[in-house]
Chain A
Amino acid sequence: MSKNLGQLDRMVHGAYEAGWTTDIESDTLAPGLNEDTVRFISARKQEPEWLLQWRLKAFRHWQTMVHPEWAHVHYPPIDYQSISYYSAPRRPGEGPQSLDEVDPELLRTYEKLGIPLHERAALAGVAVDAVFDSVSVVTTFKDKLAEAGVIFCPISEAVREHPELIRKYLGSVVPFRDNFFAGLNSAVFSDGSFVYVPKGVRCPMELSTYFRINARNTGQFERTLIVADEGSHVSYLEGCTAPQRDENQLHAAVVELIALKGAEIKYSTVQNWYPGDAEGRGGIYNFVTKRGIAHENAKISWTQVETGSAITWKYPSVILQGDNAVGEFYSVALTRGMQQADTGTKMVHVGRNTRSTIVSKGISAMRAENSYRGLVHIGAGAENARNHTQCDSLLIGDRCGAHTFPYIESRNPSATVEHEATTSKVGDDQLFLCRQRGLDPEKAVSMIVNGFCKQVFRELPMEFAVEAGKLLEVSLEGAVG
């Protein structure tokens, strides 16, 4: 049987396909972090005084905070002074530009990633905002969205063009005091996407942002803010990749979602940051704060498929503020090699009859560690709140680990909280059955893993469900003779 395990190990050794770099001229700020860094970024973005002050407040507060140690992940201390906090491809003017002005090398980068920004036909029905290192390089389909009244633009542009919305909502769900990485992000965030969907509007297309870290020694601190006004509906997808580099790169993003009365936000992530090599060298540290607030009758749904990053520390959460609000979290996290993932969700039930569903699928292969950490909090006023949590782990081989840390706090006796957890192995039996029917071992493992994830893939927008399946397949691919 040990022969079998060796084979599985090789199989999950798939090479990282997005690991190349783009040779492009860029303006990169020297490494280091102090108030001047914050001022520089703010000035570069031509930000109003109030935002600079907000950043500085965040920075001063961050300096008093300590690095969180509770997650089930291990890494050497990060030297925040050795990171560059701003890098932008050099370009003629400031502000968003038309595709003709974009450096062709950049367009080729996205094309290689499978996101041809200039072939609009290929992306029919999906508007894309592409963020390269610290800045947004291009947003497609702006006109068509504008017709529907939907705002979809780089957050730096929104600061200038829609200051009232930014001032009202920025930091309203994730205040800079929230946690160490949110504090850091608030001080130095460079770009990200902003979405506003007006009252009663169903966004006419999928919105998506692709994040790419290119420059060396650069952190990416993007900030995404999505506001769905009353009765509106929007589906948003983010995708992420980074080049293969020996040193670790920090990604500390903040995503805030606001679903006003009766609104619905569906937020999907396909995350494929460079995970580091088999010995654990290099890779992205993905420390992300994602949170949404759902008002009366509103619904927020997080779906994530995570196969990348050396370390993932991420808990997309929903505050179920209004009565009848609904929160959902569907997650697939695949870890292999030396990857570590500590991920899960928080569902905070405040309103009456609020409902939340959590489906988490963790897959570990080789020597990876995969932890699910979930909090379900039922407040005193959350009459008849209901939560259902299902947490499944799949192990490939016998040197990896899966851990489940469910926390349940219920202050209201009328609430119902259910938790189910299972751990299974890709069995020799299953593999043998598949091979006996003529499938090669790679195909067999990918089929078994895909089957395990089906419940989550079903939640992804159609176009991306296929992509996610392929991503898993690629991540599981290896040299099987």
Chain B
Amino acid sequence: MLKITNLHATVADTPILKGLNLEINAGEVHAIMGPNGSGKSTLAAVLAGRDGYEVTAGSIEYLGRDLLALAVEERARAGVFLAFQYPVEIPGVSNMEFLRASLEAVRSHRGEPNLSAVEFMKLARATSAQLQLDPEFLKRGVNEGFSGGEKKRNEILQMLLLQPNLAILDETDSGLDIDALQVVADGVNALRSPERAIIMVTHYQRLLDYVVPDQVHVLADGRILRSGGRELALELEAKGYGWLRDDAA
């Protein structure tokens, strides 16, 4: 589904990604771990096509297409979803209005008919219930005054409504209480299917207890330093990242 080859990317002329390779098949869940500042969010931003992140070499193939040739919104409509590490607020724009506009954009791209107002409301209510998010949140401004954990749950709400092919979760587990972590993990597991793939960026192996990944990668210095199974995360938890660097050196 996704094939990243020798990816180099700069931010404000500073090289951040330096020859990253990664391949993900449909149906798989990959976890990406790595020290602060190693380039995890940069990778997510490059995948989503954010302005200011310049790809200087390499390629990204997504569902057989050149992902880098698509604009941000085209990638989104083609099923690339990014759950933000720091979700922003859009004051005055209700969550409901935002979700509806976004669902319409994605559905019309897929050639699916728009949902009626009633159908949409039902779907939005049911999904918030699934995430134990009070339906009142649908009426509030997008992330406006939401707590950290509420913002993260709101990202997952959007993900479940949009049903993306490739979901990239950037530290969605950070700042969640134990119960919320379970709820979010249930949401992610609900999305898991043979047609979809999920990338989870995380610092804590705890999330991986709930959403068991097919592979774990360590990103450091703009590259995938090591890949392995579930047990790699446990090893990292015990030993930190230093030994990997020493190994590599």
Contact = CB atoms under 8 A, between A and B. Distances in A.
Contact of A437 (B51, B102, B109): B102
B73 A454 contact: no
Contacts of A430: 88, 90
Contacts of A455: 92
A1 B12 CA distance: 9
Given A4-B51, A438-B73, A451 B90 contact: yes
A129 B101 CA distance: 37
B73 A440 contact: yes
B52 interface: yes
A4 to B, nearest CB: 5
Contacts of B188: none
A338 B53 CA distance: 32
Given A428-B51, A432-B51, A436-B76, A450 B92 contact: yes
Interface stretch (A141-149, A245-253, A441-449): A441-449
B106 A438 contact: yes
Contacts of B15: none
A438 B109 contact: yes
A200 interface: no
Nearest to A433: B88
Contacts of A3: 51
Interface string B96-139: 01100110011001000000000000000000000000000000
A436 B70 CA distance: 12
B98 A438 contact: no
Interface centre among A428, A434, A448, by most chain B C-beta atoms within 10 angstroms, is A434
Contact of A432 (B72, B93, B105, B109): B72
Contacts of B92: 450-455
B82 interface: yes
A439 B105 contact: yes
Contacts of A437: 76, 98, 102, 105-106, 158, 162
**Among the interface residues A428, A432, A443, which one has the most CB atoms of the partner chain B within 10 A?**
A432
Contact of A439 (B52, B82, B84, B102): B102
A429 interface: yes
A442 B50 CA distance: 16
A6 to B, nearest CB: 10
Interface in A385-436: 427-430, 432-436
B48 interface: yes
A360 B147 CA distance: 28
A413 to B, nearest CB: 35
Sorting the interface of chain A by its residue count into under 10, 10 to 19, 20 to 34 or 35 or more gives 20 to 34
Nearest to B161: A437
Given A439-B105, A440-B105, A448 B93 contact: yes
Contacts of B145: none
A438 B51 contact: no
B78 to A, nearest CB: 9
With a 10 A CB-CB cut-off, give which of B48, B81, B90 has the most chain A CB atoms: B90
Contacts of B142: 433, 451
A198 to B, nearest CB: 39
Nearest to A5: B51
Nearest to A455: B92
B87 interface: yes
Contacts of B81: 436
B149 interface: no
Nearest to A453: B92
A218 to B, nearest CB: 39
A470 B92 CA distance: 16
A451 B73 contact: no
Nearest to A440: B73
Nearest to A437: B102
Contacts of B27: none
B82 A436 contact: yes
Interface string A44-88: 000000000000000000000000000000000000000000000
A433 B93 contact: no
Contact of B50 (A432, A439, A440): A432
Contacts of A439: 73, 101-102, 105
Contacts of A450: 92-93
B84 A433 contact: yes
Given A3-B51, A441-B73, A433 B105 contact: no
B101 A436 contact: no
Contacts of A1: 51-52
B58 interface: no
Contacts of A443: 101, 105
A303 B52 CA distance: 40
A440 B109 CA distance: 12
B52 to A, nearest CB: 5
Given A1-B51, A427-B88, A435 B101 contact: no
Contacts of B51: 1, 3-4, 428, 432
B37 interface: no
Nearest to A432: B50
Interface in A443-481: 443, 447-448, 450-455
A184 B86 CA distance: 56
B91 interface: yes
Interface of B: 48, 50-52, 71-73, 76-77, 81-82, 84, 87-88, 90-93, 97-98, 101-102, 105-106, 109, 141-142, 158, 162
Among all A-B residue pairs, the 7 with the closest Cβ atoms: A451-B92, A451-B93, A438-B105, A437-B102, A454-B92, A435-B72, A438-B76
19 contacts: A4-B52, A427-B88, A428-B51, A432-B48, A432-B50, A432-B51, A432-B72, A433-B87, A434-B98, A436-B73, A438-B102, A439-B73, A439-B101, A440-B105, A443-B101, A447-B90, A450-B92, A450-B93, A451-B90
Given A435-B73, A451-B141, 18 more contacts: A432-B48, A433-B87, A433-B90, A435-B72, A436-B48, A437-B76, A437-B98, A437-B106, A437-B158, A437-B162, A439-B73, A439-B102, A439-B105, A443-B101, A447-B90, A450-B92, A451-B92, A454-B92
